[in-house]
A = this chain, B = another copy of it.
Amino acid sequence: TEHYRITLLPGDGIGSEIIAVMVDVLKTIAPKFDLEFTFQEALIGGSAIDATGNPLPEETLNTCRESDAVLLAAIGGYKWDNLPRHQRPETGLLGLRSGLGLFANLRPATILPQLMDASTLKREVVEGVDIMVVRELTGGVYFGEPKGVFETETGQKRGVNTMAYTEGEIDRIAKVAFETAQKRNGQLCSVDKANVLEVSQLWRDRITALSSQYPDVQLSHLYVDNAAMQLVRAPKQFDTIVTSNLFGDILSDAAAMLTGSIGMLPSASLGASGPGVFEPVHGSAPDIAGQDKANPLAQVLSAAMMLRYALNQPAAAQAIEDAVQTVLNQGYRTGDIMSEGQQLVGCREMGDALLRAL
């Protein structure tokens, strides 16, 4: 029996509802694959602020560090939007990423045949879309120093952030991206703004230099504005995309929305060593929290990503992914992916259907 210590971070909004479904799924598959999970719950985000005044209590970070993997739901809500920065839910999330050294964020945007009509794009444009965005997650303008609001000589306020990357930071994310592309269709598109930004020029130079080590990967480059256009114009041209923290934030969300069903998309954040964090792409949806309306499938698929990428249990991951396919084929739909002729279910009912399918 393999034994894994898993930290659960339900966070805010619909977090606890979707985490509950995911835990049931993991408990159900565990005996079938000879796995044993110990779950430890910890606080992050708004709920951590309410309980401790800190969006990422030291205890949470320690619990995560001592575990084999972390399953996060989502953080944030209107309630905490106007607090000072160090007390904002987002600050807890950024602290978790840097605290665990999670420099590589893998965000798939895959369109499911059952949900194709949910896309706002024409069927022929999105049919078969399968993109993996590899986003750098602990550098760039998110963390660069100096940052803050300073006073100019004339007494005006000036807001400043620093967009910066070292060669080492670029190289390690490039490595993850090339290896990801190798396992996919061998196409890697690096996105930057090298025609304007020096930091992007260094990014492009390093990626280009490293590409000789991956002769089986076909590398291309796009400027970020063009990449945003191409995602709308012809998303099927993309296989794997690698980009910086900020550009990845924007493009991975745009790519996710092409599918029309972001309630279905998981993601993984990985470091050089230590536990990774697995979480849905969608947010905490405070407007439907506590109403048993949330779609738990992205959370459940995040657990599958964990099994595959962190725990090396591909068969168990596959079993979960198959169960998700089964419930979709059976016609179960939460509100966010509902369409005519299908059966509308709540979060818990969707969970029950998954357990039956397993």
CB distance from A306 to the nearest CB of B (A): 24
CB distance from A314 to the nearest CB of B (A): 31
Q: Which residue of B lies closest to A119 (CB)?
A: B122
CB proximity to B under 8 Å, residues A128-147: 141-142, 144, 147
Tell me if A258 is interfacial: C-beta within 8 Å of chain B.
Answer: yes
Contact between A90 and B195, CB atoms less than 8 A apart: yes
Scan A199-215; emit 1 where CB is below 8 A from any B CB, else 0. 11111000000000000
A328–B233 Cα distance when bound, in Å, is: 22
Of A4-12, A30-38, A220-228, A337-345, the one with at least 4 CB within 8 A of chain B: A220-228
CB distance from A204 to the nearest CB of B (A): 10
A122–B116 Cα distance when bound, in Å, is: 12
Q: Which residue of B lies closest to A262 (CB)?
A: B229
Size bracket, chain A contacts: 35 or more
Contacts A162-B160, A195-B90, A198-B148 given: A251-B228 contact, CB under 8 Å? yes
Contacts A167-B156, A257-B233 given: A196-B94 contact, CB under 8 Å? yes
> A156, A167, A201, A232 — which one has the most chain B CB atoms within 10 A of its CB?
A232
A61–B94 Cα distance when bound, in Å, is: 45
Contact between A164 and B158, CB atoms less than 8 A apart: yes
Complex contacts, A51 vs chain B, CB 8 Å: none
Q: Which residue of B lies closest to A162 (CB)?
A: B162
CB distance from A333 to the nearest CB of B (A): 18
Contacts A156-B167, A158-B165, A197-B161 given: A120-B232 contact, CB under 8 Å? yes
Tell me if A181 is interfacial: C-beta within 8 Å of chain B.
Answer: no
